[in-house]
Structures are given as C-alpha cells and as structure tokens.
Amino acid sequence: MSTISTWINEAAKTPSSITPQRIASLLSLTGEEAEYLRNAAYAVKCDHVGRIVHFRGIIELSNICSKNCHYCGIRRENPHVERYTMPYDEVMSAAEFAFQSGYGSIVLQSGEIQSDVLTTRIEKILRDIKTMSDGKLGITLSLGEQSAETYKRWFEAGAHRYLLRIETSDPILYKQLHPQDGYHRFETRLETLKNLKALGWQTGSGILIGVPGQSFDSLAQDLFFLKNLDVDMIGMGPFIPHHQTPMHTMSDYDPAVQLHKGLNMIACARLLMPDINIASTTALQALADNGRELGILSGGNIIMPNITETKYRGSYQLYDGKPAINENAQRSRENLQRSIESIGETVGFNAWGDSQHYLKRHKT
Ligand code: SAH
Ligand code: SF4
C-alpha cells in the first residue's frame, strides 16, 4: 500500500509527474487500494471543479444509423430495432422540459447520418432552442462524424460542445471493434476530433472501457491520448454487451469487473486532467443502481439524465439493460437530485457548467 499511496499522492499533487506505466498499475488496483485511488481523485475533483454536479438532459433524437459498430445495439445491421426519428415538436418540448427543470444544458444525440437534410434540420432545431430559452440553455451535440462545414453551421446556430468518442486510441483494437467497410476509419475519427477543436468547439471524447483484447496498458494509453488531445470533457463508460450484436458474447464478462474498471478509469482521468468535465455515464448505472453516484465519488462531475420520451427508450438500447426505460423524466429528476445531495454534492441548476479547462484555454 505504501508505494501505491505515494504514487497516488504524487499524482494528485503533480499530475505531470505520472507515467503511463504507473497509470496502468493504478487501473488494476482492487480493494482498499482502489478506494484510496478513488478518494484521492474525488479530493482533486472537489479542489478543481467543486462539489457541484451539472446535469445535461439527453435527448435521443433518432436511432437511425449508417454505421455498424460491432458493439452497438442500434447498429445498421440490427434488423430487430424499430427505427424512429423524433418529430420537431417532441424535440422542442423535451428541450423546454430541460429548460423549465433548470437543467443548464442539453445533449442532442443520435445514430450517425450525414445529409444536407439532417444538417438543415439540426440547424433549425438549434436556433429554435436558443430562441425558446433566450440563449440560456447550453447545447452539446453527439451526432457522430460530420464535415467541417456541417460542424461550422451547427456551431453558428448555437451549439457549443461536441462529444465524439475515439472509442480506443489503439488503431489495431479500433479495427477489431469496427467493420472494415470504409465507414469506420480510425484516422477519420481522429481528424474529425481535431477539426472540432480547431473550429472552437468545447470538445469531449472518451472510450469504451473493458472490451475484449484491451489491456490496462492500452487503457492507460487512452487516458494519455485524451490528455494529449487536450480535451475539455470526457464521456467514457464500461462496455456492456448487447444480445443482437456480434459482441454479444464475451467469455469473461463480469458486470462487477466492468463497473470497477469504469470507476478506476474515472479516478485516473481526474488525476491526470484535474480541471476538465468528466461524465459519470449511464452505463455505470446499468451496472449498479448507485453507479452514477459512485462515478461522482471517483472524480466525475457531470450526469446526463435521459429526457427522451419513454416511448422511444426501448428503441435506443445501445447495450442490454440500459436503464430508465420506464422512468419518466420528471421522476428521474427528483430521484437524481435527492441522491446527488445525499452524497454531499449540490446540483448546478440553471448554469452551463462549462469545463474549467475550456474556460482557461479560452482566456489565454
Ligand atoms: N452515434 C454517435 C452517438 C451515439 S452512440 C457516435 O457513435 O458517436 C454513443 C456512444 O455509445 C458510443 O460512442 C459508444 O461508445 C457507446 N456505446 C455503444 N454501444 C455500447 C455498448 N454496447 N456498451 C457501452 N457503450 C456503448
Ligand atoms: Fe451508430 Fe454510434 Fe452505435 Fe456506432 S456507436 S452503431 S455510430 S449509434
């Protein structure tokens, strides 16, 4: 314990001192040592971004996707999914619900489609949400890879944060997780992330944690990749198999191990990048009822409650057991606020809660 606690204390004090080798060792910790790691990361979170959790209400606009990621339940080639696109009015009323509920921001997420019709439709939605909320509702997009031109139009229409996970920073593993059909190129994903940054977006990325063939060294490299990319936000979560995908069987799949890895990853991310926003993702909640609270106590500071109408939830199952299928948005809000307050945190209502890292970057 003493060497480990020394490493953790050093990392908490001087993030630049930590090496990928040490991060890989910290990621493998269990028991009391893992607890020490997570407590240290939580203390770093409190020092740098406060004891405040920000909510981003997530609206799952459409499950139509042109891609075929091996791990994802709404991949193009899953014939069992009933495809939908939320009509304009429903998107607007979900956004209005978020605004009235004091959520400072929303996330618009969907499968990946590239078309002029989509670009124009999203542009209108963005402008109308801005007008409806008098410019007060922050908007994050998570609509996959798009051209620089599209990103520019959406930014000008009022969105300012974008989430695009690299999924893994290892190009070989990336190839194993995605079909080689010309639609899933690691280099394109990387280029797209760089475009987003260059265009001024507050940029978030992340990875899938605990996929077959991924070592602790690889996960440590992922965290250094995110640090070198100088991301403002991280959204990463444990991989959970979906029964209608090529990755439905994972021989040594264990939900407890996935949860544990997810929490250690959040803790190490916080030690390495003290002032960014880190989401405590829904996949953690799928693995344990209090998964998202544990994510906060390991260094996360963002929660993305689902505010999509319940009738669509069953059709947006990225992984098996995705929670809150039958829980409506109003009830989720109350439950979540209560449980966040029960761990001694406050909810940052009516605030954008931009990443401190982004704000500092923009001052300089
Ligand atoms: N289509 C967009 C956004 C929606 S998918 C995109 O891919 O960027 C959002 C995230 O869901 C993906 O980045 C992926 O990391 C995650 N996801 C997909 N399938 C998953 C699974 N089986 N377990 C955990 N996360 C998964
Ligand atoms: Fe489509 Fe995103 Fe799922 Fe890949 S992860 S299949 S891009 S929705």
Over residues 52-82, the pLDDT tens digits come to 999 999 999 999 999 999 999 999 999 999 9
Name, in order, each residue with C-beta under 8 angstroms of 141's C-beta and a sequence gap of 6 or more: 107, 108, 109, 122, 154, 159, 161, 162, 163
Q: Measured in Å, how far apart are the chain's first and last C-alpha atoms?
A: 40
Nearest by Cα to 58 from 359, 316, 350, 305: 305
CA 233 to centroid of ligand 2, rounded, Å = 20
Total residues belonging to the chain: 364
Query: Which ligand approaches the C-alpha of residue 183 most closely?
Result: 2
Tokens 């409650």 map to which residue? 305
Name every protein residue with a CB atom under 6 angstroms from any ligand 1 atom: 71-72, 109, 111-112, 142, 144, 164-165, 167, 208, 237, 239-240, 242, 283, 318-319
Mean pLDDT for 27-32 is: 97
- Global pTM reads 0.96
pLDDT at 48: 97
Question: Model confidence at 323, in pLDDT bands (50, 70, 90)?
Answer: confident
Residue whose CA is closest, atom 4 of ligand 2? 69
Mean pLDDT for 321-337 is: 74
Residue 228 has pLDDT above 70, yes or no: yes
Mean pLDDT for 243-251 is: 91
Residue 41 has pLDDT above 80, yes or no: yes
Query: Which ligand approaches the C-alpha of residue 206 most closely?
Result: 1
CB atoms within 10 A of CB 147: 12
Residue 182 has pLDDT above 80, yes or no: yes
Ligand 2: atom nearest CA of 178 is 4
Mean pLDDT for 340-357 is: 94
**Which two tokens mark 198?**
């260059």
Over residues 90-127, the pLDDT tens digits come to 999 999 999 999 999 999 999 999 999 999 999 999 99
Over residues 271-315, the pLDDT tens digits come to 999 999 999 999 999 999 899 999 999 999 999 999 999 999 999
Residue 252 has pLDDT above 90, yes or no: no
CA 68 to centroid of ligand 1, rounded, Å = 11
Nearest by Cα to 230 from 187, 272, 167: 272
pLDDT at 34: 98
Mean pLDDT for 198-207 is: 97
CA 12 to centroid of ligand 1, rounded, Å = 30
CA 91 to centroid of ligand 2, rounded, Å = 20
By CB neighbour count within 10 A (0-12 exposed, 13-18 middle, 19+ buried), where does 14 fall?
exposed
Name every protein residue with a CB atom under 6 angstroms from any ligand 2 atom: 65, 67, 69, 72, 74-75, 111-112, 144
Residue whose CA is closest, atom 8 of ligand 2? 111
CA 318 to centroid of ligand 1, rounded, Å = 6
Which residue among 65, 165, 166, 281 is best mutated to probe the pocket of ligand 2, counting the most ligand atoms within 8 A of its Cβ? 65
Please compute, for residue 97, the number of CA atoms within 13 A of its CA located in the half-sphere on the CB side: 21
Alpha carbons 23 and 269: distance in angstroms, whole number: 9
Percent of the chain with pLDDT over 70: 97
Query: Which ligand approaches the C-alpha of residue 142 most closely?
Result: 1
Query: Which ligand approaches the C-alpha of residue 246 most closely?
Result: 1
Please compute, for residue 146, the number of CA atoms within 13 A of its CA located in the half-sphere on the CB side: 28
Name, in order, each residue with C-beta under 8 angstroms of 6's C-beta and a sequence gap of 6 or more: none
Mean pLDDT of the chain: 95
Which residue among 75, 192, 282 is best mutated to probe the pocket of ligand 2, counting the most ligand atoms within 8 A of its Cβ? 75
Ligand 1: atom nearest CA of 318 is 19
Question: Model confidence at 250, in pLDDT bands (50, 70, 90)?
Answer: confident
